[in-house]
Amino acid sequence: MSEIQTPTQRTRVVREPQRAVYDRAVVYRILDEGFICHVGFTVDHQPFVIPTSYGRRDAHLYIHGSTASRLLRALKESIPICVTVTLLDGLVLARSVFNHSMNYRSVIILGKASLVEDREEKLVALRALSEHILPGRWDDARQPNEQELKATSVLRVPIEEFSAKVRTGPPIDDQEDYSLPTWAGVIPLEMHPGVPLNDAQLDPGCSVPEYARNYSRRRD
């Protein structure tokens, strides 16, 4: 169900505002289809942008990593962060180089991360991370033991201050360029899974599970 969020001064899209989306449902669909987010933060006046996997559960994004990682150590201090996710859907070729573009869907989330300390919530978050990447895998694989849980930090990022930006459709050329004898159009880009490859040490009795055999990144 659509839930339009009023953008803040920081999240309002200024450049190409007609592409702005403030609908929480659309933002969730983009987040749920993506694999990698980029987390931007500053430590001692030095900016960092770190790519990492993530998972979503309701109105929270979860990020995990080693307790020793720079990202996790910094974010545990509740410093301001910017999380971005981008999906590339196509190359848009115009008749002029200036008007070339891309079809894409992107989300930015601003806020502060907080450390998940409750053991049960931590497991719920790790399950969300696993199921986000490969639904069905959590129940099929060995789950984290106590030592692994202690070595892993999980951070919770509220999805409260956000905006999305979406471009679709054909190229937009200057009127005088439409008569040029130059091909123009869109090259669609999609991610397609290949055929699963068995591990060399796999038990001969193990078959490829359905969730791997028919894997798809598209979310309903």
What pLDDT is attached to residue 5?
81
Please indicate whether residue 66 or residue 132 has the higher confidence score (pLDDT): 132
**6 falls in which pLDDT band (50, 70, 90)?**
confident
Domain 17-213, architecture per CATH: Roll (2.30)
Mind listing the pLDDT tens digit for each residue in 169-202? Answer: 999 999 999 999 999 999 999 988 999 999 999 9
Helix, coil or strand: residue 14:
coil
- Paired sense of beta strands 60-66 and 20-21, if any: unpaired
Cα–Cα distance list, 98 to 92, 95, 101 (Å): 11, 9, 9
| DSSP character at residue 110 | E
Extents of the domains making up the chain:
17-213
Q: Is the separation of the CB atoms in 7 and 163 below 8 Å? A: yes
**129 falls in which pLDDT band (50, 70, 90)?**
very high
- Paired sense of beta strands 46-53 and 185-188, if any: unpaired
Res. 113: pLDDT tops 70: yes
Rounded distance between C-alpha atoms, residue 138 and residue 158, angstroms: 24
Res. 132: pLDDT tops 80: yes
71: nearest Cα among 92, 35, 43? 43
What pLDDT is attached to residue 71?
72
Q: Which burial class, exposed, middle or buried, applies to 150 when counting CB atoms under 10 A from its CB (0-12, 13-18, 19+)?
A: exposed
Using the structure block, give the residue that is written with the tokens 């639904």: 135
| DSSP character at residue 118 | -
Res. 219: pLDDT tops 60: no
